[in-house]
Amino acid sequence: MDDKVILLVEDNADDEALTLRALKKNNIKNDVVVAHDGVEALDYLHGAGASAGRPPRAMPQLVLLDLKLPRVDGLEVLRRLRGDPRTRLLPVVILTSSKEERDLVSSYSLGANSYVRKPVDFAEFTEAIRQLGLYWLILNEPPPNKAP
Amino acid sequence: MAETATSLETMQLTIERKIQIGFAIAVFIIVAVGAAALRSTAATVESAGWVAHTLEVRAELEATFADLIGAETAVRGYVITGDTTYLTPYDSARVQLGGLLAELRALIADNPEQLKRLDSLATLVSVRLERSHWTVDTRRTGGSSAAARAVIGGRGKELMQQIRGMVRQMEDEEGRLLAQRSAALQSKARLARLAAWGGALIAVTLAVIASALISRELAGRRRAEQALGETQTRFRQVVASSTAVIYANTVSGATFSPSWVSENVTRITGYGPDEPLQPTWWLDNLHPDDRERVLAEMPALLANDHLTIEYRFRYKDGTYHWVHDEARLLRSAAGTPVEVFGSWVDITDRRRAEETLQVSEEQFRTLAVTANDAIISADSRGDITYFNPGAERIFGYAPEEVTGKPLTVLMPERFRDAHRAGLARYLATREARVVGKTVELAGRKKDGTEFPLELSLASWRHGPEVAFTAIIRDITERKRGEDTLRRHTAQLEAANAELDAFAYSVSHDLRAPLRGIDGFSQALLEDYADRLDGTGKDYLARVRSGSQRMAMLIDDLLNLSRVTRSQMHLAAVDLSALARGIAVDLQKRDPERRAEFNIAPGLQVQADPGLMRVALQNLLDNAWKFTGKRPTARIEVGSATHDGRPAYFVRDNGAGFDMTYAHKLFGAFQRLHGAEEFDGTGVGLATVQRVIHRHGGRVWAEAAVDGGATFYFTL
């Protein structure tokens, strides 16, 4: 069970807390690793910087990626993930406030697997998180661990 | 040409004269031969007469001599016998001899020699008769012996000898004359034969020559006739295939009567070949507006012997054609007008082309004179040939100041070399860098000031030369305007970029705190419910409601801004289908509501499909919302004509509004109803208006309080 890590890339502490609360309320008990900006996220996934030396088996089951991030933004993170063979197939769900058309287009163009807008209404937000968890952690067959 | 004809005539005359001369010679010869023959015949007859004459003379001589012999014999018989009966011959001889000698005299009256001999003979005969008479007398009186002596003694024998000699002489003379005449006749006959043969020969030769000449002449004439025939055929064909109708009129006094017209008149005008020969045909078909002018020109034909005139003429099919008529008057040797020959060509096409050209020239002139732009033409040397009033205004030169001067006077110094090089290159290689294009350059006015200009240069052929026409516009103002525009555009772009960044930022950042407010309020309600009383819970509920409403406002504002910022892509949009889709969604949203949608089919517009959906969605959302308190909502979508243009409308039977506030309807955040009555942000109609304005259309509403509302829009 603990190999099914969720990587939450979120700079806003409120959103982080709400997301974790929503996950908990939906009984999603997977480990959640939080990266507070793009650099942290990339370090974690590509085993550089603070995460150097971490065994590659700890690749997350799902990445919840915000777009507006300090240092390296979400779209850039996505581009680098897709450009690296180790993370090329990693399921990435964009979880963000915006539904600007250009964000949608850019995200899908760069290979996002899904795009979910965070609702302001917390009840709706919780429901969105529930469905995400159900779909991506249970229903969806993840890609093989080893990249082809 | 005339000279050739004259020499030809001379030559022909010569041939005819030759033939005439030949015939004259032949006739002369034939007459000469005939005369010779006649003369020869006459000579023969004459000579035969002479032969007869000679024979007659001889016979007379013989008869005379015989009578004389008879008389002598009778005398001798008488002498011997004394019988007087013997004297009968003697007596008759005496009677006859006188007659015979007279006859002889008459016969030989033309020959004096013979007459002399006859005189001698007559003397000798009379002497002999005297002697015989004496002898007879002697016998009568003297008896026979005396008579015998007289006979013997007389010189009777001698006399007879003399007479015989004389007769022989005369006979010989006649014989000689006969021979002489025969010889003359012979030679004459030979000459006549010779003349006849010679004449015949010459006549035959002449006849042969004349016949040869005549047949040669006839052959020549035949050839000439054949050539003439061919020429005539060719002429007919040429005329028939020509576009010119040839005609002839006979003239008597000042009256012209058509006498001949070429066959092509039918092909060209459609009239039958005889119609143009009707006396009034020409005048009848002359265009009434041209008649007076043409008739006024006619006397000039008699005065100048030729006339060129153009007029309209009605063809058989009733259409009028312009014709060019060229007539020439022929006069008799006395100078009286005899005949008019003319040619007649349809020049309708030329006239039309001329008129078109005239119109085109007029258009050009008007254009060139009224144009605000400078229009300047130059020849291949680059010298100005035309300078319009616009050019005067722009450059400050009068046309006569610059006409013939090089174009470089209109340029600042620094462009002149480039212009000369460019012109030379264009003329040498036809490689156009400026020709056919519009370029921005600088010009130089008469007062020396420089100004920016826009130049469009075209080249055209002027005979063998190349000419140029430039249209020049002073773009000082435009440049200034462009600069301003560029500045404004840059400002606008910056503002838009800012707005975009702002909207993007709002989209991301303004919602996140709201989510926090709502989320943590909810967390409080869930986790700390036991420590909150009803009022606390109500406050938290209000906090959540406020934050959610705020989120809605932000979303609507972003939509409005998106409508403004998005790119327009026009396409065919089926408003009817779009409205039906939205209506289905609305009904699904509130399935318990009773609503009747009446959507006209086939509402097709050219619009941006995305924006059109936003507008229609807003209008139908409104209609749905404001009919919420009706037992049955009636919502209609249709089209009407407004100011001649199609207008589309969404009509409902809802709450309506007071038209007093209609002007506030489309402002952002303007609401005519309280949120308690109908919720909403007041951005929807502002968005609709923005969409319609972006399509160049107009939106307006008609409504009454509690009487429903109709929203119209055009595109």
Inter-chain CB proximity B508 and A21 less than 8 Å: no
Lowest mean pLDDT among A89-93, B99-103, B220-224: B99-103
Does A125 contact B515 at a Cβ distance shorter than 8 Å? yes
For chain B, give the mean pLDDT.
83
**Burial grade of B25 (CB within 10 A; 0-12, 13-18, 19 or more):** middle
Judged by a CB distance cut-off of 8 A, whether residue A117 touches chain B is no
Task: Select the highest-mean-pLDDT range: A111-120, B67-76, B124-133, B506-515.
Answer: A111-120
Candidates B503, B547, B558; nearest CB to A120:
B547
A86–chain B nearest CA distance, Å: 30
pLDDT mean over B526-540: 88
On chain A, the residues whose CB falls within 8 A of the CB of B507 are 97-100
Task: Test A122 with B523 for CB contact under 8 angstroms.
Answer: yes
CB atoms B515 and A14 under 8 Å:
yes
Q: Is the pLDDT at B268 greater than 70, yes or no?
A: yes
Q: Which residues of B touch A18 (CB under 8 A)?
A: 515-516, 519-520, 523
B10 band by pLDDT with thresholds 50, 70 and 90: low
Q: Which residues, 6 or more positions from B25, have their beta carbon under 8 angstroms from its beta carbon?
A: B202, B206
- How far lies B608's CA from each of A126, B552, B599, B649, in Å? 36, 25, 20, 18
B474: closest CA among B448, B440, B447, B446?
A: B440
Phi and psi angles of residue B700, each rounded to the nearest 5 degrees, phi first: -150, 170
List, for residues B271-296, the tens digit of each pLDDT value.
Answer: 988 888 888 898 899 999 999 999 88
Nearest CA in chain B to A99: B507
Residues in chain B: 715
For range B104-125, the mean pLDDT: 81
- Of B4-8, B75-79, B98-102, B148-152, the one with minimum mean pLDDT is B4-8
Give the pLDDT score at B198. Answer: 78
Which three-class secondary structure state does DSSP give residue B674?
A: coil
pLDDT band at B315 (very low <50, low <70, confident <90, very high): very high
Q: Please, which residues 42-101 of chain A have a Cβ atom closer than 8 Å to chain B?
A: 67-68, 96-101
From chain B, pick out residues whose CB is under 8 angstroms from the CB of A68: 508-509
Instruction: Determine which of B86-90, B260-264, B370-374, B591-595 has the lowest per-residue pLDDT on average.
Output: B86-90
**Res B4: pLDDT:** 44
What tokens does B594 get? 């009773």
Among chain A residues, the shortest Cα distance to B562 is held by: A100
Number of H helices, E strands in chain A: 5, 5
pLDDT digits (tens, 9 = 90+) for B211-235: 888 888 888 889 989 999 898 888 8
B560, B561, B563, B564: CA torsion to nearest 10: 130
Please give the angle made by the CA atoms of B129, B135 and B137, to the nearest 5 degrees: 105
Q: What is the pLDDT of residue B168?
A: 82
Whether B507 shows a pLDDT value over 90: the answer reads no
A97: phi then psi, degrees, rounded to nearest 5: -80, -30
Give contacts of A75 with chain B, Cβ < 8 Å. Answer: none
Least confident interval from A78-82, B139-143, B288-292, B568-572: B139-143
User: For chain B, what percentages of helix, strand and coil (3-state, to nearest 5) are there?
Assistant: 65, 20, 20
User: What value does the mean pLDDT take over residues B401-408?
Assistant: 89
* pLDDT band with cut points at 50, 70 and 90 for residue B323: very high
Residues B513, A67: C-beta atoms closer than 8 Å? no
Greatest mean pLDDT range, A42-56, B111-125, B553-567, B613-627:
B613-627
Chain B residues touching A67 at Cβ < 8 A: 508
Q: What's the gap in Å between the CA of B424 and the closest CA on chain A?
A: 56
Rounding to the nearest 10 degrees, give the CA dihedral for residues B15, B20, B24, B29. Answer: 50
Percent with pLDDT over 90 in chain B: 12
Residue of chain B whose alpha carbon sits nearest to that of A95: B508
